[in-house]
Amino acid sequence: MKISLAVLDRQFQLHQAEYEAAALRALRSGWYILGPEVEGFEREFAAYVGTKYAVAVNSGLDALTLTVRALGIGAGDEVLVPANTYIATALAVTENGAKPVFVEPDEAYGIAADRIEAAITEATRAIMVVHLYGQASDMDAIRAVAARHAIPVIEDCAQSHGARYAGYMTGALGRAGCFSFYPTKNLGAFGDAGAVTTDDAELAAMLRKLRNYGSKVKYHNEVAGVNSRMDEIQAALLRTKLQHLPELVAERRRIAARYDAAIQNPHIVLPKVRDAKGDHVYHQYVVRTKARDAFQAYLKEAGIETVIHYPIPPHLAECYARLGGRRGDFPIAERYADEVLSLPMFNGMRVEEADYVIATINAWKGA
Ligand SMILES: *Cc1c(COP(=O)(O)O)cnc(C)c1O
């Protein structure tokens, strides 16, 4: 059997007629950017997440970068960022001239709540949490530290659409929730798109300005903004997919439960669910093994494609050499980068495919 990860056509086919109708509706409307479809999506997405506002932008990176900017964070400021995240989380900080201060992850791959306090200085202006792989971070503990220091929590929800914590959706747990709708995400568009959710009216208004050249009234540019507008076709498609998000999440959970129950190999560490408060939507199903590269090669040999999320932690990224990060600075994040592997997990995955992955893994003798 061959299991490729170039499978986005499958989730499209699950609801193909509805997507085609939505795209045509937008095409025929004669309005292509920031129009009624975007407004409708913003309203429906805010209702889904449980916040007062959602502001649509052009990508997850823009959602993060513009949120940091809208909160007035810039040169001389520090923002705490998990040491094991995707580079975008850190880029949102450095794009604004501020400094990312990395914090080691816990065993469930979220920022380690008990290591945050030690990283806070006079210059700390925000804590960025990433609900990595789709599991809500340790929010009670994180918010308690944030409240003690009166600094906002920004949630990177690029991988956690639909994940809850203590009854709230991720994206409604901090000052702002930053979402990506990159096609592979759990709520993926058919192109680039993103959004910020918040209850803060001032923040929402500033984001609306920033995404459209800094103007609320056309040609009255109050701040130096950017072009980060969502287009109507993507919004129409996202409205359609949002209606199916609960079933798409349920499908991922079913695949994860199958993996959880049946993968049995002493060399493989399965994903850990932190506690009963937060749930997991399995954007990725990530296992760990000491001989990761050999394991990945073995799976490839058996026709199973896998990805490493992520092989290089941000403090060791070439683009951040100027920050002076060294190997050994964040040993936990570095070990995860060396050991993690994301198994096939996608909407439209067949039971026989999951079972083939399971059988292949269970037959692995280690390296
Ligand atoms: C995908 C992703 C982003 C960036 O989203 P884009 O839409 O690709 O800009 C940011 N943070 C995390 C954790 C992501 O997975």
Which atom of ligand 1 is least distant from the CA of 180? 7
pLDDT of 276 > 90? The answer is no
Answer yes or no: do 257 and 213 share one domain. no
Which of 57, 58, 59, 61 most suits a substitution to test ligand 1, by most atoms within 8 Å of the C-beta? 61
What pLDDT is recorded for position 79? Answer: 98
Q: Which pLDDT tens digit goes with each residue over 303-335? A: 999 999 999 999 999 999 999 999 999 999 999
Last residue of a domain, one of 200, 221, 239: 239
Yes or no: say if 84 and 132 are a contact pair by the CB < 8 Å rule. Answer: yes
- The candidate with the shortest Cα–Cα distance to 263, out of 140, 361, 180, 348, is 361
Q: Which pLDDT tens digit goes with each residue over 166-201? A: 999 999 999 999 999 999 999 999 999 999 999 999
Distances in whole angstroms, Cα of residue 201 to Cα of each of 52, 175, 220, 288: 8, 11, 21, 42
For the chain, the average pLDDT equals 97
The answer to whether position 351 is within a domain reads yes
SS3 content of the chain, % helix, strand, coil (to 5): 40, 15, 40
pLDDT of 367 > 90? The answer is no
Number of domains in the chain: 2
| Strand ranges across the sheet with 53-57 | 53-57, 194-198, 176-180, 153-156, 124-130, 78-82, 99-103
Yes or no: say if 55 and 177 are a contact pair by the CB < 8 Å rule. Answer: no
The answer to whether position 2 is within a domain reads no
> What spacing in Å lies between the alpha carbon of 356 and ligand 1's midpoint?
30
Take atom 12 of ligand 1 and give the residue whose Cα is closest: 158
Buried b vs exposed e over 44-79: b needs ≥16 C-beta within 10 Å? bbbebbbbebbbbbbbbbbbbbbbbbbbebeeebbb
What pLDDT is recorded for position 275? Answer: 87
Answer yes or no: do 104 and 235 share one domain. yes
Last residue of a domain, one of 224, 239, 254: 239
Q: Token pair 């964070």 is at which residue?
A: 73
> What spacing in Å lies between the alpha carbon of 61 and ligand 1's midpoint?
6
Lining ligand 1 with CB less than 6 A are: 59-61, 85-86, 88-89, 130, 156, 158-159, 180, 182, 192, 194
Take atom 14 of ligand 1 and give the residue whose Cα is closest: 158
CATH at residue 313: 3.90.1150.10
Last residue of a domain, one of 200, 219, 239: 239
Answer yes or no: do 310 and 343 share one domain. yes
Answer yes or no: do 129 and 265 share one domain. no
Distances in whole angstroms, Cα of residue 356 to Cα of each of 267, 304, 366: 18, 9, 18
Question: Quick one: average pLDDT of 103-130?
Answer: 98
The answer to whether position 181 is within a domain reads yes
Answer yes or no: do 210 and 122 share one domain. yes
- The candidate with the shortest Cα–Cα distance to 80, out of 110, 113, 132, 119, is 119
Question: Quick one: average pLDDT of 77-96?
Answer: 98
- Give the whole-number percent of the chain exceeding pLDDT 90: 97
Evaluated on CA atoms 188, 69, 49, 218, the torsion sign reads: negative
Question: Quick one: average pLDDT of 26-32?
Answer: 98
Answer yes or no: do 108 and 256 share one domain. no
> What spacing in Å lies between the alpha carbon of 170 and ligand 1's midpoint?
15
Q: Which two tokens stand for residue 252?
A: 């991922």
CATH at residue 227: 3.40.640.10
Yes or no: say if 204 and 184 are a contact pair by the CB < 8 Å rule. Answer: no
Answer yes or no: do 252 and 223 share one domain. no
Take atom 2 of ligand 1 and give the residue whose Cα is closest: 158
Answer yes or no: do 43 and 170 share one domain. yes
> What spacing in Å lies between the alpha carbon of 60 and ligand 1's midpoint?
5
The answer to whether position 4 is within a domain reads no
The answer to whether position 367 is within a domain reads no
Q: Which pLDDT tens digit goes with each residue over 206-255? A: 999 999 999 998 889 899 999 999 999 999 999 999 999 999 999 999 99
What is the domain range of residue 346? Answer: 245-362
pLDDT of 33 > 90? The answer is yes
